[in-house]
Amino acid sequence: MNPIQEVILIVQRELRKNFRSVKGIVLLILSLLGGGAFAVINAILTRLKTREMGDVPEEQFRMIREQGLTKFYDGDADMGKFLSDSPDILWTVSLITIWLTPLLVAVLGYDGVSGEVQHRTVRFWTVRSRRTSYFMGKFFGLWLTVSGVTLVMHLLVWVISTFGGVASAGTVFGWGLRYWMVSIPIAGAWSAIAVLIASQFRTPMVSLLSICIVFFVLFCLKLTGVWFESVPLTCVYPGTLDNFLLNPQMKRFAIGLAIAAGFIVTGAGAGSAIFAKRDV
Amino acid sequence: MEPQESKDVKSEAKPEASLEETKPETKVAKTEAKSEPPPPSSKSDDEPASSNGSATLAAASPRDDVKKKKGVEYAIRATKVVKRFGPKTAVDGVTLKIKAGSVYGLIGPNGAGKTTTFSMLAGFLEPTEGSLEVLGFAPTAVDSLRARIGVLPQDALLPASDKVGEFLTHMARLQNIPADKAEAAVRTVLEEVDGKDWWNLRCGALSHGMAKRVAIAQAFLGEPEVVLLDEPTAGLDPRVAWEIRQVIRARKGRCTLVVSSHNLQELEEICDAAAILDRGRVVASGSINELTASSEEVHVELASAPVGLDALRQVPGVTRVEHQEMDAMGYRVQGDGELVIHFDKKLTNAESVIGQCLWILLQNQVRISGVSKGRGLERRVMELTD
């Protein structure tokens, strides 16, 4: 059996396990409730805005949005102009998703490896699959689970926004898909870091604590980068990669993708190499 | 055997000693191993244990596989294996050779290094020094050993959220059993452990005994050539333990079984051969007959004072008769002590000696409360371990 087949089998089990676990179900429901409530409120506000401010031209709204977005993305006028065409709700949901992703990753991934090492359950796998395949299966399983949870949340928002008259279905789904896809490499980067850290410990709570500490340290480094206007330093926090991944310029997009890939390759590669050598 | 002799055996078993064959006929003595022929699995036939084991076997045809099975005389080889955890040496120079097709026991008190040795054989732990081979491969060469080795790890919890059927099917798929045959393979092993109705039960809802059976079922999945069972009956009530022993016994002859256990009676019943470990070292090893000296001495427990010892000494083949009131550990033997009748196994056998000696003792109106061949594994282990 080749390693890819092993990884696929392990990922299938991880997805089944994650979406069936109490933790996974609760997170999914919370995401749905949060996303749904947010989308409903936004749809109501949109109707209110249309009714009360119907005489204000749409172009004026777009200009305000463009200026706001340009400011938000550190004066990047291209980004401001590009994103001002998208419905506000989708941009906001994307932002929330990107902010919540590390939390989702930490909660869903902290016990993936350490829990099975603690109870020696991992031993049933290590006689049948390469350690690296097991590790990569855990990593891809977490990544897909997080992406799946966010997709469900986004889907709900898209549907409510469409029926709420926020924009046409084509606009909503087109922009929505784009925003969700931006969250995928970011979720991958977070997952790689989380699995790397979590696999170093035998106690899930220690893993969770360590993941939270590392994520917080990365956040502090990002703030330091923002303070000193150092772009490379801000990039150590994967949550800032949307600045690159949403950019209409191909070069900026490619840089963002490369940074995310760097996180994924380094995190998953180092994690699987360490796991292959350690005692279980 | 006298306590002094026991100590001699123990002192012989240095960590660097390469030890036994596992056939009953073979000798325990370390010196014999030095003149053993070279290992049958040469580099040209099998991947060396030191290699990663790559994919040579994975792609092998069934015919190649049969060749390989025939080519491996020793299912397991451990050479001067050392495992340290920080300053603590858990396994100190263990050398073992386990014949393919045999049932082998790893025996010893808590902390003797049984589970650590077992874990290294299963690839869970990396030895600090020395080399290990399972079917000619390093234990970590998963791709080469996949489906050829089954392992029951001690105290490993089954994944609580998985259903029994889906867990075992997943294991079967990882063993490269095709999807359309995996369910049948799983149902076969579940039936073997008397758990055919457990398919839809969650692993977390199983009792300890049921969980152990499911874990044994996963070890037996796909007819592996080598099965490692670490404490298969630990923590089970006598009935479930007996049933699991029957399951293991039923596997005898179908694969090489390595069983680590505290239950010496169980091992004496099941195993062809065993190694006794103490403080990380092999202190004795060989066939069960050799370890218990069951082909060299007979023990007669007495309920009255012994009479007619001279007549016993005249029995053909008997070399020595001793009356012991204390056992090897210095505890008083129940009743009026026991007679230890040593005999030359080349001249006679235990059954003849028992028949003739009992006849003499009964004629002398000696009351007998028990007769056994050899010392029993338990007594042997007590003699050899601290």
* pLDDT single digits (tens) B185-242: 999 999 999 898 999 999 999 999 999 999 999 999 999 999 999 999 888 888 888 8
Chain B residues whose C-beta is within 8 A of a chain A C-beta are 55, 58, 119, 122-126, 142-143, 145-147, 149-151, 153, 155-159, 161-162, 166, 170-171, 173-176, 215, 218
Any residues with CB less than 8 A from the CB of B118 and at least 6 apart, and which?
B106, B154, B228, B230, B258, B260
Question: Which of B173, B203, B230 to substitute to test the interface with A, most A CBs within 10 Å?
Answer: B173
Kindly report the backbone phi and psi dihedral angles of residue A9, in degrees, each rounded to the nearest multiple of 5, phi listed first.
-60, -40
Pick the residue from chain A with its C-alpha nearest to B178.
A1
What pLDDT is stored for residue B334 in this prediction?
62
Tokens of B226: 């080598």
Q: Distance, in angstroms, between A68 CA and closest chain B CA? A: 48
Helices (H), chain B: 3-12, 30-34, 62-71, 114-121, 142-145, 164-174, 179-192, 208-220, 238-251, 264-270, 288-292, 309-313, 350-363, 377-384
Give pLDDT tens digits along chain A (280 positions): 899 999 999 999 999 998 888 888 888 888 888 877 877 887 777 777 777 766 677 778 788 888 888 988 888 888 889 998 898 889 989 999 999 999 999 999 999 899 999 999 999 999 999 999 999 999 999 999 999 999 999 998 899 888 877 788 999 999 999 999 999 999 999 999 999 999 999 999 999 999 999 999 999 999 999 999 898 999 999 999 999 999 999 999 999 999 999 999 999 999 999 999 998 8
CB-nearest partner of A129 from B124, B156, B174? B174
Task: Tell me which chain B residues have a C-beta less than 8 angstroms from the C-beta of A120.
Answer: 153, 155-157
CB-nearest partner of B161 from A20, A124, A280? A20
SS3 sequence, chain A? CCHHHHHHHHHHHHHHHHHHCHHHHHHHHHHHHHHHHHHHHHHHHHHHHHHHCCCCCHHHHHHHHHHHHHHHCCCCHHHHHHHCCCCHHHHHHHHHHHHHHHHHHHHHHCCCCHHHHHCCCHHHHHCCCCHHHHHHHHHHHHHHHHHHHHHHHHHHHHHHHHHCCCCCHHHHHHHHHHHHHHHHHHHHHHHHHHHHHHCCCCCHHHHHHHHHHHHHHHHHHHHHHHHCCCHHHHCCCHHHCHHHHCCCCHHHHHHHHHHHHHHHHHHHHHHHHHHHHCCC
Instruction: Return the DSSP state at B205.
Output: G
Q: Distance, in angstroms, between A1 CA and closest chain B CA? A: 6
Identify which has the larger pLDDT, B32 or A60. A60
Cβ neighbours, 10 Å, residue A271: 25
Cβ-defined contact of A120 to B157 (cutoff 8 Å)? yes
Cβ-defined contact of A279 to B124 (cutoff 8 Å)? yes
d(Cα A257, Cα A63) in Å, to the nearest integer? 29
Contact A191, A149 (CB under 8 A): no
* ipTM summary value: 0.86
What pLDDT is stored for residue A24 in this prediction?
80
Cβ-defined contact of B174 to A20 (cutoff 8 Å)? no
Task: Tell me which chain B residues have a C-beta less than 8 angstroms from the C-beta of A126.
Answer: 123-124, 142
Contact A77, A63 (CB under 8 A): no
| pLDDT per position as a tens digit, B141-195 | 998 898 899 999 988 999 999 999 999 999 999 999 999 999 999 999 999 998 9
Any residues with CB less than 8 A from the CB of B154 and at least 6 apart, and which?
B115, B118, B230, B231, B234, B260
d(Cα A245, Cα A178) in Å, to the nearest integer? 10
- C-alpha distance across the termini of chain A, in Å: 22
| Bridge-based pairing state of the strands B273-278 and B103-107 | parallel
Pick the residue from chain B with its C-alpha nearest to A7.
B174
Beta-carbon contacts below 8 Å between A and B: 71
Pick the residue from chain A with its C-alpha nearest to B228.
A127
Pick the residue from chain B with its C-alpha nearest to A125.
B171
| Bridge-based pairing state of the strands B149-152 and B368-373 | unpaired
What pLDDT is stored for residue B33 in this prediction?
35
Task: Tell me which chain A residues have a C-beta less than 8 angstroms from the C-beta of B215.
Answer: 124
DSSP state letters, B227-290: EEEESTTTT--HHHHHHHHHHHHHHBTTBEEEEEES-HHHHHHH-SEEEEEETTEEEEEEEHHH
The b-or-e profile of B257-277 (16+ CB within 10 A means b, else e) is bbbbbbbbebbbebbbbbbbb
What pLDDT is stored for residue B18 in this prediction?
36
Q: What's the one-letter identity of residue B63? A: R
Q: Distance, in angstroms, between B177 CA and closest chain A CA? A: 10
Q: How far is CA B173 from CA A50, A249, B139, B168, B180, in A?
A: 57, 45, 20, 9, 10
Closest CA to A203 of A118, A107, A116, A112: A118
Contact A265, A191 (CB under 8 A): no
d(Cα A207, Cα A117) in Å, to the nearest integer? 12
Contact B103, B270 (CB under 8 A): yes
Residue B333's pLDDT band (boundaries 50, 70, 90)? low
Q: How far is CA B306 from CA B3, B123, B352, B356, in A?
A: 22, 54, 20, 16
Task: Tell me which chain B residues have a C-beta less than 8 angstroms from the C-beta of A6.
Answer: 174
Residue B9's pLDDT band (boundaries 50, 70, 90)? very low
Task: Tell me which chain A residues have a C-beta less than 8 angstroms from the C-beta of B155.
Answer: 120
Contact A102, A192 (CB under 8 A): no
Q: Distance, in angstroms, between B143 CA and closest chain A CA? A: 7
Of A7-21, B45-59, B321-335, the one with minimum mean pLDDT is B45-59
d(Cα A269, Cα B3) in Å, to the nearest integer? 57
Residue B55's pLDDT band (boundaries 50, 70, 90)? very low
Cβ-defined contact of A1 to B161 (cutoff 8 Å)? no
Segment B304-312 mean pLDDT: 82
Q: Is the pLDDT of residue B2 over 80?
A: no
- Note the residue count of chain A: 280
Identify which has the larger pLDDT, A195 or B35. A195
What pLDDT is stored for residue A165 in this prediction?
78
* B381 class by beta-carbon count within 10 Å (0-12 exposed, 13-18 middle, 19+ buried): buried
Cβ-defined contact of B161 to A17 (cutoff 8 Å)? yes
Q: Which residue has the tokens 């014999």?
A: B32
- Note the residue count of chain B: 386
d(Cα B325, Cα B322) in Å, to the nearest integer? 10
Contact B200, B163 (CB under 8 A): yes
Q: Distance, in angstroms, between A147 CA and closest chain B CA? A: 22
Any residues with CB less than 8 A from the CB of B319 and at least 6 apart, and which?
B342, B343, B344
Instruction: Return the DSSP state at B203.
Output: G
CB-nearest partner of B161 from A21, A120, A128? A21
What pLDDT is stored for residue B64 in this prediction?
45
Share of chain B above pLDDT 90, in %: 41
Cβ-defined contact of B159 to A126 (cutoff 8 Å)? no
Task: Tell me which chain B residues have a C-beta less than 8 angstroms from the C-beta of A130.
Answer: 142-143
Contact B371, B303 (CB under 8 A): no
d(Cα A62, Cα B62) in Å, to the nearest integer? 69
